[in-house]
Amino acid sequence: NAGVTQTPKFRVLKTGQSMTLLCAQDMNHEYMYWYRQDPGMGLRLIHYSVGEGTTAKGEVPDGYNVSRLKKQNFLLGLESAAPSQTSVYFCASITGQGPLIFGPGTRLTVT
Amino acid sequence: DAKTTQPTSMDCAEGRAANLPCNHSTISGNEYVYWYRQIHSQGPQYIIHGLKNNETNEMASLIITEDRKSSTLILPHATLRDTAVYYCLCMIKAAGNKLTFGGGTRVLVKP
């Protein structure tokens, strides 16, 4: 039982490049979340999903897209990366019994 | 989900109890109070949760006021490893919610 895993752990992008962050959970959790955390700041919700095939916007969705084609995976895409998207990205999942389980994070730098 | 308010920061002496307050005056009857902590840049870690009654586990105790409008997380014997950012969150169990975090309390345990 690996819990919540995130791929990649680190990435450096140039402005305008695109990439996809993968979040995977093996706990059969229904709900999944993507957060970003800027240096010295709290967690901000980007997008979330309440089930396979469904997604919804969080607090800061602009510049990101998501997909939940399989229950165990939640993908976060950056179509055209900007320096303002330099951050640490955390994925989390939860099921009815709680609590929220977080992944280790992906550290993204956009130059 | 109910909005939570926490002090920005607090210091605590090693070996003493740390009492972390959280206000959630708009909490609804079916919302639980959850506490998480984030050590350095790791993914947030679950600590404890409760609905009405006080709760205790191996990590901490949670005291919820009778009107449920506030709660206190107690770390009984703080250690240097408890230095972290602590987040209070209100959420409905078994429901896919737009889970947002506040700024949390930055706790510094001093020797």
CB contact A43 to B (< 8 Å): yes
Q: What are the tens digits of pLDDT across the range B28-46?
A: 888 889 999 999 889 999 9
> For residue range A19-61, what is the model confidence (pLDDT) as tens digits?
999 999 999 999 999 999 998 888 999 999 999 999 999 999 9
- B84 to chain A, any CB pair closer than 8 A? The answer is no
Q: Backbone phi, then psi, for A64, in 5-degree steps?
A: -125, 150
Query: Distance, in angstroms, between A30 CA and closest chain B CA?
Result: 8
How much is the CA Rg of chain A, to the nearest whole Å? 13
Q: How far is B21 from chain A (nearest CA, A)?
A: 17
Mutate to test the interface with B, among A94, A97, A108 (most CBs of B within 10 A): A94
Q: What's the pLDDT score for residue B94?
A: 57
Q: Do B47 and B17 touch, CB atoms closer than 8 A?
A: no
Q: Which of residues 42-61 of B touch A (CB under 8 A)?
A: 42-46, 49
Low-confidence ranges of chain B (pLDDT < 50): none
Among the residue ranges A14-18, A93-97, B73-77, the one predicted with the least confidence is: A93-97
Chain A CB contacts of B49 below 8 Å: 98-99
**B22-61 burial: b if 16+ Cβ within 10 Å, else e:** bbbeebeeebbbbbbbbeeeebbbbbbbbeeeebeeeebb
Residue A19 identity (one-letter amino acid): M
Interface check for B7 against chain A (CB to CB < 8 A): the answer is no
A27 shares contact with chain B (CB less than 8 Å): no
Residue A96 reports pLDDT greater than 70: no
Task: Report CB contact under 8 Å: B96, A45.
Answer: no
